[in-house]
Amino acid sequence: MRAATVVSLAADAVVRLDSVTKVYGSGAQAVTALDGVTIGFAAGEFTAVMGPSGSGKTTLLQVAAGIDRPTSGQVPIGDTELGRMSERRLTVLRRRRVGFVFQSFNLMGSLTAEQNVALPLRLDGRRPKATAVREALARVGLDGRARHRPAELSGGQQQRVAIARALVTRPEVVFADEPTGALDRRSGRAVLDLLREAVDGFGQTLVMVTHDPAAAARADRVVFLADGRLAGQLQRPTVEQVAGYMTRLGD
């Protein structure tokens, strides 16, 4: 394999990938999804991850979040090395220290908005405080929809519930996988405004996979992947800069 590429391994990184390789399969069928990746995500930073299809974006997100384990390398969240943890301890860590926002919302259809937001706390054995749940919904502009079920909400409103659910545990980092991919442009902008506010107003660390240059341009930094390797980054990018970089990667 080729030498590792390093992109911003900050000393204050909340999450790091140190020389991480992820290989699926074996022998002639082996596919290298990540190839010697070293990167850090700093506290209070909004990072977008982009790259062509099959570049390793989702794998990077899953490995960084402890959903998937690397074939080699280390993945610390704070001072905790994920590779040394059992599946049970990893599950507990994800509930308490990591938030997730998905393209498909992943809400429980039988639960109300406030019950969906409270779910991570209940799964962790904690009794949710009604005030904390309502505050989380108020932050995303849905305090008047607490008792509505997902089927009674628009796609944009469902994604806002998902964001409230991701933030209610006050996680160290939030991972978002194509959070605007299933939304119309107006709803997508509103969701990006909320994610931006989570960073600017509450110091949240956010890592977002996206294919949309306009969404990526809302981040503090855009990191590019190609063939499982880091291919560069842009700080405070414009839409045009992001689109141009993606065009070059696709050539």
Q: Could you give all domains of the chain from N- to C-terminal order, each with its CATH number?
A: 5-250 (3.40.50.300)
Angle between helices 155-167 and 185-202 (to 10 degrees): 20
In DSSP notation, 13-56 reads: EEEEEEEEEEEES-GGG-EEEEEEEEEEEETT-EEEEE-STTSS
**What are the pLDDT digits (tens) for 108-120?**
999 999 999 999 9
Residue 207 bridge partners (DSSP): 47, 175
Q: Between 7 and 160, where is the model more confident?
A: 160
* pTM given for the model: 0.90
Read off the pLDDT of each residue in 78-105 and give the average, rounded to a whole number.
90
